[in-house]
Amino acid sequence: MKKNKDQASGDSREFRGFVKLAQSLVVGLLVLAQGVCAAELRAGAAKRVITPEVKLGARIFLAGFGNNRVATGVHDDLYARCLALSAGGKPVVLCGVDSIGLFLGDVQKIRERVTAAPVVVASTHDHEAPDTMGLWGPAMGVSGIDEQYNQFVVARVAEAATEAVQAMKPARLKLARYGGAELDGFIHDNRPPVVHDSELVILSATGKDGRPIGTVVNWANHPETLGSRNTEITADYAGYFYTRLEERLGGVAVLLIGAIGGLQSPLGAKVMDPATGQPAPDNSFRKAELIGARVADLAADAVVKSKPAGVKELAYSERPLRIPVSNAGYLMASKAGLFKGRKPMGADAGTSTVVGYLRLGPRSKPALEAALVPGELYPELSVGGVERLPGADFPEAPVEPALKKLMRAPYRMLVGLANDEIGYIIPKAEWDEKEPWLQNAPKRWYGEVNSVGPEAGALIVRALRELIQR
């Protein structure tokens, strides 16, 4: 759509204003939360339902696959689930939200409502939830965002975060992890090189009275088990995960999605059903149930076997970033208003986002570290394994260091879609946008179609490395 000079000037002013607001808020959070506190650990948790009402005649566009996939009913509820932690100073709230993704603009609105604490808002990237980003509307070039629903999600996440802070009490933490071939088997990766970051990393809080508070599990797998033909709203495998983990451990279960780029997905994975001795049907709720319940059991077993961690120190910091945008589709979507002001982008100005870093325990000997990434990170940037494959566009590009290898704690989280969603974040040495395609593929790889551009990975890793090593 061609714009006149006045409109273009207005867009530029709007973008600069958004960036200035985002940077001021992020710098404020950095000042408030960066100070290290050493005191009694406190924790609180809360959750809120964010399921929309499916009304006759109203259209709710489901996100994550194609356009005009309209919801016909609700299979199970969507949630915002939050765990608040503090060690003498301002708490930090970790929120997992059953959503395809929330742009920084909506996250800022949540934070404006929760003045008591910095809030981390990490979407699960649920492909069976409403379109909160605008890319999956009734047709190409038409936004699928329902403003009332986005405002509803903002309000509910803020309510859950606020209640979690208000519910804080003296607490004990258990930290645990679990990895193995079984978890790899729940994930199919169709992009070379095949790398998974399938380890479960778990943080579980109980009161000093022994009562459960909440458990955060970090795991990397797309919640898209039901596939593109499903039209029922569902949290996908995450819904079964919440139910089983709360049955096992009590309190509030929170899922923070991990490095799911590449494409880490249950689609294509064969999941055996013990009831039949055969693989569960693809695109079925049974398959979602088997994945979610089993992941919950593995996490619960790991927590039960672990010992309390004497964590009395907490540090959290963020950094604003400007990321260049070369993706023509994203630039056109921003100009056409698909994002409805939530994610300004420009070919010259790029886009504004944030990265974050959480540490539990002293800097000299941290117990847990977490890198917060604003999109779908390729696992090679989390655990390593970048390869220089024939056909890549930047074969001599420096290889970015793996984020988890930059950390020193025994428990290391990589939280994706944290506080923003800018799409796939790809190692530059593996970037492939021009023919010949990697491994002589017949068409352009999916990741580059859904990435802001080849510079994002290096910029994000560099900023996080500075936060981690500072």
Please report which confidence band the pLDDT of residue 470 belongs to, taking 50, 70 and 90 as the band edges. confident
Peptide bond into 436 cis (omega under 30): yes
Report which of residues 139 and 190 the model is more confident about: 139
Q: Which two tokens stand for residue 149?
A: 């629903």
In angstroms, the CA 141 to CA 67 distance is 10
To the nearest 10 degrees (0 to 180), the angle between helices 104-113 and 147-166 is: 40
For the ranges 109-113, 234-238, 437-441, which has the lowest average pLDDT? 437-441
How much is the mean pLDDT over the chain? Answer: 92
State residue 142's pLDDT score: 97
* Average pLDDT score over residue span 200-226: 98
Q: Is the pLDDT of residue 11 over 90?
A: no
Whether pTM exceeds 0.85: yes
Residue type, 142: V
Q: Is the pLDDT of residue 403 over 60?
A: yes
> In 211-271, which ranges are continuous DSSP H helix?
237-249
In angstroms, the CA 260 to CA 455 distance is 19
pLDDT tens string 351-385: 999 999 999 999 999 999 999 999 999 999 999 99
Residue type, 337: G
* Average pLDDT score over residue span 420-434: 97
pLDDT tens string 72-121: 999 999 999 999 999 988 899 999 999 999 999 999 999 999 999 999 99
Distance of CA 48 to the CA centre of its chain: 18
State residue 8's pLDDT score: 40
Do the Cβ atoms of 201 and 177 come closer than 8 Å?
Answer: yes
Residue whose C-alpha is closest to residue 299's, from 198, 447, 450, 409: 198
pLDDT tens string 296-340: 999 999 999 999 999 999 999 999 999 999 999 999 999 999 999
Q: How far from 389 is each of 190, 393, 432, 448, CA to CA, in Å?
A: 15, 10, 10, 15
pLDDT tens string 47-56: 999 999 999 8
* Average pLDDT score over residue span 273-282: 98
Q: Is the pLDDT of residue 12 over 50?
A: no
- Quick one: what percent of the chain has pLDDT higher than 90? 89
- Contacts of residue 139, defined as CB under 8 A and 6 or more positions apart, other chains included, come to 67, 68
Report which of residues 237 and 3 the model is more confident about: 237
* Average pLDDT score over residue span 197-224: 98
Q: Is the pLDDT of residue 241 over 90?
A: yes
Report which of residues 101 and 58 the model is more confident about: 101
- Paired strand residues for 177: 201
Q: Is the pLDDT of residue 33 over 60?
A: no
Radius of gyration of the chain (CA): 21
Q: Is 289 exposed, middle or buried (0-12, 13-18, 19+ CB in 10 A)?
A: buried
